């Protein structure tokens, strides 16, 4: 396992305003009416755990596809990848409100496409969320020409998808590239022939879990 460089605060910057508001309310309620402050302190703890963003270690093998998110596997199958326009193996990771919501790159490569789609807010655990919910798709081309698509999908209560990378940018595996506020999912589309290393229902951790291994010496350029 390789410990990747992770130059980010342990509490994600995306959560600082929410945590500040929660703490101020908790402190004010403690001063005014101590017993009534308990729900506000609990809310502060929830915000703190939701926006935690710990560094991770994972595989540096060139064919390993790392999980881009914490959560549970809810879908594995051969489908059409509408973003890279091909048939692909799809693996979906559903994140509940208790998972880390920072998204990390599954592979090394160059970003060849970033595309945002406005949409609805169905429960992210449902298959239809992949194509009907608000989402942001990123297509990565590896050094040997294979394509890996990672799609951030908003959920029932997620109202903000954040993506910090652009087309043409080089991306390193485990690099933090985005964040989704509250419940959501990430779909990963892989070349046919990829060897899946997880099963439906498995709990996975961003960077630490290998979702699949890419097929060798096969280009999809």
The domain boundary, picked from 22, 40, 55, lies at 55
Poorest-confidence range of 37-46, 108-117, 119-128, 186-195?
A: 119-128
Residues 97, 46 share a domain: no
34 and 89 part of one domain: no
Q: Which of 67, 102, 130, 184 is catalytic?
A: 184
In a domain, 221, yes or no: no
Query: What is the domain range of residue 23?
Result: 1-55
Domain membership of residue 122 (yes or no) is yes
| Residue range 88-94: mean pLDDT, rounded | 97
Name the one residue in this structure whose structure tokens are 């595989």. Answer: 59
Q: Does residue 137 sit in the same domain as residue 42?
A: no
**pTM higher than 0.85:** yes
Specify whether 157 is located in the same domain as 201: yes
Query: Is 189 among the domain residues?
Result: yes
Give the residue from 82, 102, 58, 1 showing the smallest Cα distance to 211.
Answer: 58
Confidence band for 73, pLDDT divided at 50, 70 and 90: very high
Residue 201 burial (CB < 10 Å; 0-12/13-18/19+)? exposed
On whether residue 219 sits in a domain, the answer given is: no
Counting the structural domains of the chain, the total is 2
184 is catalytic: yes
Q: Name which of 48, 58, 57, 52 is nearest 8 in CA terms.
A: 52
Residue 9: both structure tokens together? 């605060």
- First CA to last CA across the chain, in angstroms? 30
Q: Are 110 and 170 in contact (CB under 8 A)?
A: yes
145 and 189 housed in the same domain:
yes
Residue 218 within a domain: no
Q: For residues 6 and 76, state if they share a domain.
A: no
Using the 3D structure, point to which of 38, 55, 72 is the last residue of a domain. 55
Assess if residue 11 is contained within a domain. Answer: yes
Same domain, 9 and 104: no
Consecutive H or E run containing 159: none
β-strands 2-3, 147-154: how paired? unpaired
Q: What is the pLDDT of residues 152-210, one digit of tens each?
A: 998 766 567 899 999 999 999 999 999 987 768 999 999 999 999 999 999 999 999 99
d(CA 67, CA 76): 13
Q: In this structure, is residue 188 part of a structural domain?
A: yes
Co-location of 163 and 110 in the same domain: yes
Residues 188 and 152: their CA atoms lie apart, in Å, by: 9
Shared domain for 69 and 48, answered yes or no, is no
Q: Note whether 206 and 115 are same-domain residues.
A: yes
DSSP state string for 105-131? -SS-EEEEEEEEE--B---TTSTTHHH
Radius of gyration of the CA atoms of the chain, in A: 18
């Amino acid at each position: 396992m390789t410990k990747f460089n992770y130059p980010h605060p342990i509490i994600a910057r995306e959560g600082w305003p929410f945590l500040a508001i929660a703490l101020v309310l908790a402190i004010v309620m403690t001063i005014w009416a101590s017993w009534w402050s308990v729900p506000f302190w609990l809310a502060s703890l929830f915000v703190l755990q939701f926006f935690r963003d710990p560094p991770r270690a994972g595989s540096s093998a060139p064919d390993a596809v790392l999980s881009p998110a914490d959560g549970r596997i809810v879908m594995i199958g051969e489908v059409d990848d509408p973003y890279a326009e091909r048939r692909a193996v799809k693996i979906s990771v559903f994140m509940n409100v208790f998972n880390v919501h920072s998204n990390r790159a599954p592979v090394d490569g160059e970003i060849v496409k970033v595309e945002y789609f406005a949409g609805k807010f169905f429960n992210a655990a449902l298959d239809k969320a992949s194509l009907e919910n608000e989402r942001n798709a990123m297509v990565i081309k590896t050094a040997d020409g294979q394509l890996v698509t990672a799609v951030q999908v908003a959920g029932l209560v997620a109202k903000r998808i954040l993506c910090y990378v652009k087309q043409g940018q080089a991306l390193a595996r485990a690099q933090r590239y985005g964040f989704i506020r509250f419940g959501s999912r990430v779909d990963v589309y892989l070349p046919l022939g990829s060897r899946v290393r997880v099963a439906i229902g498995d709990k996975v951790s961003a960077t630490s879990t290998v979702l699949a291994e890419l097929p060798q010496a096969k280009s999809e350029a």
